[in-house]
């Protein structure tokens, strides 16, 4: 689990404590648990995408202890691969997040108004993870194994560029969640997601 994803889970937990009504009712506690469960599902999907990409690229995933200052974490690692494969592996978690977000907006266009804490926790994790990763990319900080660094190195672009490609869809998807469903917001989000994925072509040429 990277620093950014840990921060995302922590932020969803904090949100569940502050946004939900201040009461000890069983219903509220259940909603909070489901919100956190949705975030945990998001984490599982993100990490699973990396593992699937590893296996599809013909490398065995492993675990490595990393630190962010004094705080220990772990990262899913793999042996060296070509730039094209590295880009796919590093991007896989974000691609999963983007696909899940599009599915949620397609099947639950009024998610903000629904009582669906699991889905809201899932969406919150995806958005907050992108925000956290973009911050790390802009600052060029965090473990060397961070996804945005792997994407940048394999595609031959500056890491803040990757940060922007991750942050813009997060901002636009937040607007979509709150009911801002104008065509330019919807298609702007999708265009940036697709544009980021197409950097794989540049990464392949790097090899």
User: What pLDDT does residue 65 have?
Assistant: 67
Per-residue pLDDT of 8-53, as tens digits, reads: 445 554 454 444 444 455 667 888 888 889 988 998 999 899 999 9
- All residues at 6 or more sequence positions from 107 whose CB lies less than 8 Å from its CB, including other chains: none
DSSP notation for 75-144: EEE-----HHHHHHHHHHHHHHHHHHHHHHHHH-TTGGGS--HHHHHHHHHHHHHHHHHHHHHHHT-S-T
Quote the longest CA-to-CA distance of the chain.
58
**Residue 12 · residue 124 · CB < 8 Å:** yes
CA atoms within 13 A on the CB side of 198: 6
Per-residue pLDDT of 150-160, as tens digits, reads: 999 999 999 99
Q: Which residues of the chain have pLDDT under 70?
A: 1-27, 65-74, 207
User: What pLDDT does residue 8 have?
Assistant: 47
User: What pLDDT does residue 67 have?
Assistant: 58
User: What pLDDT does residue 3 have?
Assistant: 46
User: What pLDDT does residue 70 have?
Assistant: 57
User: What pLDDT does residue 18 have?
Assistant: 43
């Amino acid at each position: 689990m990277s620093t950014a994803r840990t921060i995302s889970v922590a932020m969803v937990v904090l949100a569940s404590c502050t946004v939900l009504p201040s009461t000890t009712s069983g219903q509220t506690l259940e909603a909070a648990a489901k919100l956190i469960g949705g975030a945990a599902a998001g984490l599982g999907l993100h990490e699973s995408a990396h593992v699937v990409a590893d296996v599809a690229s013909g490398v065995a995933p492993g675990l490595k202890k990393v630190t962010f200052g004094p705080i220990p974490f772990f990262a899913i690692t793999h042996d060296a691969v070509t730039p094209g494969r590295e880009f796919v592996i590093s991007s896989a978690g974000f691609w999963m997040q983007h696909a899940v977000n599009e599915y949620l907006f397609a099947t639950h266009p009024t998610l903000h108004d629904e009582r669906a804490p699991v889905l809201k926790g899932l969406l919150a994790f995806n958005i907050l993870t992108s925000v956290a990763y973009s911050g790390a990319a802009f600052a060029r900080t965090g473990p060397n194994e961070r996804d945005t660094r792997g994407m940048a190195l394999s595609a031959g672009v500056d890491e803040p560029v990757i940060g922007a490609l991750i942050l813009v869809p997060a901002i636009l998807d937040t607007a979509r969640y709150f009911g801002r469903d104008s065509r330019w917001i919807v298609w702007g989000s999708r265009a940036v997601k697709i544009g980021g994925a197409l950097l794989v072509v540049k990464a392949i040429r790097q090899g």
